[in-house]
Chains A and B, each alone.
Chain A
Amino acid sequence: MSHAVMQLITAFIGSLGFAILFRVRKEFLLVASLGGLFSWGIYLGAIAAGQSIFMSCLLASAFSAFYAELLARLLKAPGVLFFIPSVIPLVPGSNLYYTMHAVAVKDWPTAKLNAVLTLEYALAIALGLSVMWALLSMIRKLRHLD
């Protein structure tokens, strides 16, 4: 099985795990966890298209925010319930580990590189989310003007 397919499947399983942990209702579990698969798919697609890690992560996070808002509208539930499982695969757990491991073996250049990457991911997720959030709220206001 190719690496990408394996990642998409496990992104789904991991997101499902978190959706269960955070007690997303049974009826919503599938759509909430699919968000994790989709957002990781967008990340991989953007990387394949030559985008930077930062930009790819930002796009995937913006997608998650859009997906969550869309489902919130359709299913009449708070958006955060769909956003969190969708965005989970973007959380840089591995970079945090590599940072820690490098600190433990006193490999400072690797530690620094991974610490910066960890922060980069976190910032990209937050920016993507905020940009989408601002856009959607602007669209909503403009539509109410009619």
Chain B
Amino acid sequence: MSEMETEKLGREQLVHVLLNMAEEMLLHGAEIYRVEDTISRMGKAAGAAQMNVFVITSSIVLTVAFADQEIVTETRRITDSASNDFTCLEKLNRISRQFCSVPVTPEELQKQIDAAIQPPASDLMMYIGSILAAGGFAVFFGGNIGDGVAAGLLGVLIGWLQKKIRWVFPNTVSFNIVCAFVVGCLIGILTKLIPWLHFGMIMIGDIMLLIPGVATTVSIRDVLVGDTISGTLRLIECLLLAVALAYGFVMAIMLTGGAG
């Protein structure tokens, strides 16, 4: 292989690995402008003359122009929806900082990315988080301690459903309807059996786990700061999810006759 071909191959590989980096950042909860900014910086650190990064929630386009007029471009379709994993995000952030001061080869960068996105070894922390979040907010919005405990326990169920059952469903909207319905019915039965628990308060705690509250805020922010396409896409996704959630819960309320 001639020297030029080897160089071209290296550049294509660089663009490919940068796209992997962009995808992982996006999927682990980075903001749109943060992904675009980070990848631009990394590209320039690796010797690009001009970086064109276009990120929306469902696709990434990366075109890198080098000083000798060569242009390399690649597109990535993103089908997974983003979730927040700040341990991974922080590691990716650190990799990008290091890369910007001392660039490494694409192979090495890929190795670092693979090491950063390791999922947690156990689900225990996720369940603890669900208990605290659902239980805390059930009491926060006016429930008693019993409501908090009930919401926390059902939070564990929600976490389990999200972890183990979610993949069976074609999309998050259908999963949210079923999940909300099942949890809503259980809350209805529970409050019938134990009359001093409050149907509404337990449900509010568990709604906090399922409602795309932060995602909605982030999407409105995206629109306001100029990432209009991403913001709109995400906002519509969030509204759909919220409606699905409401639909599942409303059916459960009607079925079990839960009040207040």
Known: A12-B136, A93-B205, A122-B220; 5 extra A-B contacts, CB below 8 A, are: A10-B136, A21-B126, A22-B129, A78-B86, A96-B246
Closest A residue to B87 by beta carbon equals A23
A110 at the interface (CB under 8 A from B): no
Q: Report A98 CB to chain B, min CB distance, Å.
A: 8
Contacts A20-B128, A97-B200 given: A25-B242 contact, CB under 8 Å?
no
Count A interface residues, CB 8 Å: 49
Contacts of A59 in B (CB 8 A): none
A133 and B120 contacting across the interface, CB-CB below 8 Å: no
Residue positions of B touching A, CB distance < 8 A: 29-31, 34, 84-90, 93, 120, 125-126, 128-137, 139-142, 148, 200, 203-205, 207-208, 211, 213-214, 216-217, 220-221, 224-225, 242, 245-246, 249-250, 253-254
Contact of B211 with A96 in the complex, beta carbons under 8 Å: yes
* B residues in contact with A97, CB < 8 Å: 200, 203-204, 207, 249
Given contacts A14-B132, A16-B136, A78-B30, contact A91 B211 (CB under 8 A): yes
B252 CB to nearest A CB, Å: 9
Please indicate which of the listed interface residues A21, A22, A84, A125 has the most CB atoms of chain B within 10 Å of its own CB: A21
Closest chain A residue to B209, Cβ basis: A21
Collect the chain A residues with CB atoms within 8 Å of residue B205's CB.
93
Chain A residues numbered 110-132 whose CB sits less than 8 Å from any CB in chain B: 122-123, 125-127, 129-130
